[in-house]
Amino acid sequence: KKSVDDINVKGLRVLCRCDFNVPLKDGKITDENRLVAALPTIKKLIADGGKVILCSHLGKVKTEEDKLTKTLAPVAVRLSELLGQEVKFVADPEVVGPNARAAVEAMKDGEVILLENTRFRPEETKNGEAFSKDLASICDVFVNDAFGTAHRAHCSNVGVAQLVDTAVVGYLMQKEIDFLGNAVENPVRPFVAILGGAKVADKLNVISNLLEKCDTLIIGGGMAYTFLKAQGYEIGLSLVDDSKLDYCKEMMEKAEKLGKKLLLPVDAVTIKDFPNPIDAPVEVEVYDADKMPADREGCDIGPKTQALFADAVKTAKTVVWNGPMGVFENPTLAAGTIAVAKALADTDATTIIGGGDSAAAVNQLGFGDKMTHISTGGGASLEFLEGKELPGVAAANDK
């Protein structure tokens, strides 16, 4: 794909779509990884003398009240600090209305502005023409660096790209495509994929696609219990999706047919009552996977499983991980997720972490700098692992 390295933006108005959809608490950004990840492209556009117009969505905007809490103003403040240069926030209820047009008009080369949350325009999520045209009308060049949004076909990443003469990808988008794409399509083997998280239903196509691509597929987290039940085990009060039992059997048969290793938990850390709040103290008991009592709930992989999974990772050359192994928000139920993070941190393999919960877990647990790549995309990285072509990636079509 053509990137920001292939164009000359000197003196041009560059609209750069980023994913600044960051968690906010009382107006404060609680995880700024997506901002930090966007800096290389923004710095490059500044250094090349472009007039840099940043845009992004933030959260879901359904009501007028949402607009009060979902303004991108705090992002402009933090970005200014991170860049060491002013990022002027353009408060414009129409996103691209008179205020934004005036701000763009007044820009000098190398200056940066940030437009208001693109979802303040209801057409944004419908990829409506009017807003796409508005966005296209204020720029000469479009750069898509919003990997986290690449699974959406919205005005600010797809519609606008189709209307401009020049549309390329930024460094972050390029890096995400290179790492995730290479890991799945062209991995250095052995390739081990680790999946966790609560629901099988969220990962149906990921499991199926990765089974074809990897050498070993490891399944932990809440979704493993549906697999264990499909094998005929008692799983007590553990999370289960009974409508997916046949699917799990099918996947186990598929693994066997393809000669792939499919590793499931062999023991579980169980509790009686789910902690409320989630990090409240809990009493745990560990059982082998075939001896779980009917009145307990599995909430983490046990020590034997930790060793089994860590062992599988040891000889790997490529590891992709998406989804925690247990209720890692609770310190008593985090050991499995920590063990997997540690196993990845200790290997020389290329280690790629899918976004969302697993990225948060790895960063929170302090293993962030030990991984080769931590994706900024939650839904987007999952769809990538499904082998799908993402609309946001397809639309930045080398123009």
Residues 6 or more apart whose Cβ sits within 8 Å of residue 196: 219, 220, 221, 222, 223, 224, 321, 322, 323, 324, 325, 326, 337, 340, 358
How long a stretch of residues is the chain?
A: 399
> Could you write out the DSSP letters of every residue in 97-114?
SHHHHHHHHT--TT-EEE
Question: Annotated catalytic, 377?
Answer: no
Retrieve residue 389's tokens. Answer: 């072509």
Task: Look up tokens 């987007």; give the residue.
Answer: 380
Out of 67, 101, 199, 260, the active site residue is 199
> Is 119 a residue of the active site?
no
Strands 141-144 and 216-219: unpaired
Cα–Cα distance measured from residue 354 to residue 248, given in angstroms and rounded to the nearest whole number:
22
| Residue in 356, 377, 378, 392 annotated catalytic | 356
Q: CB of residue 189 vs ligand 3PG: minimum separation in angstroms?
A: 30
| 387 tagged catalytic | no
Mask of contacts with ligand 3PG, 188-217, x by CB under 6 A?
A: ------------------------------
- Return the residue nearest ligand 3PG (CB atom): 21
97 is catalytic: no
Report the alpha-carbon distance of residue 63 to residue 178 in Å, rounded: 38
Contact call for residue 166 and ligand 3PG (CB under 6 A): no
Residue 118 contacts ligand 3PG per CB under 6 A: no
Contact window for ligand 3PG (CB under 6 A) among 128-136, 146-154, 237-245, 277-285: 146-154
Residues 233-292 that bind ligand 3PG (CB under 6 A): none
Looking at beta carbons only, is 118 or 305 nearer to ligand 3PG?
118
User: Residue 178 has which token pair?
Assistant: 């290179």
Pick between residue 20 and residue 89 the one whose CB is nearest to ligand 3PG: 20
Pick 159 or 265: Cβ nearer ligand 3PG: 159
Q: Does 148 bind ligand 3PG (CB under 6 A)?
A: yes
Exposed (0-12), middle (13-18) or buried (19+): which is 67, by Cβ within 10 Å?
middle
Which of 19, 215, 297, 386 is close enough to bind ligand 3PG by CB under 6 A?
19
Compute the distance between CA of residue 53 and CA of residue 35 in angstroms, rounded to an integer.
15
| 277 preceded by a cis bond (ω within 30 of 0) | yes
Which of 78, 379, 387, 388 is catalytic? The answer is: 379
Which phi and psi angles does 82 have, rounded to 5°?
A: -65, -35
Instruction: Return the residues of window 344-383 that contact ligand 3PG according to CB under 6 A.
Output: 378-379
Q: Considering the rule CB under 6 A, would residue 21 count as an interface residue with ligand 3PG?
A: yes
Stretch 22-61 residues interacting with ligand 3PG (CB under 6 A):
60
Least distance in Å: CB of 149 to ligand 3PG? Answer: 5
- Cβ-based nearer residue to ligand 3PG, 22 or 371: 22
DSSP type of residue 390: P
Binding site for ligand 3PG (CB under 6 A): 19, 21, 60, 148-149, 152, 378-379
Active-site positions read 34, 199, 356, 379
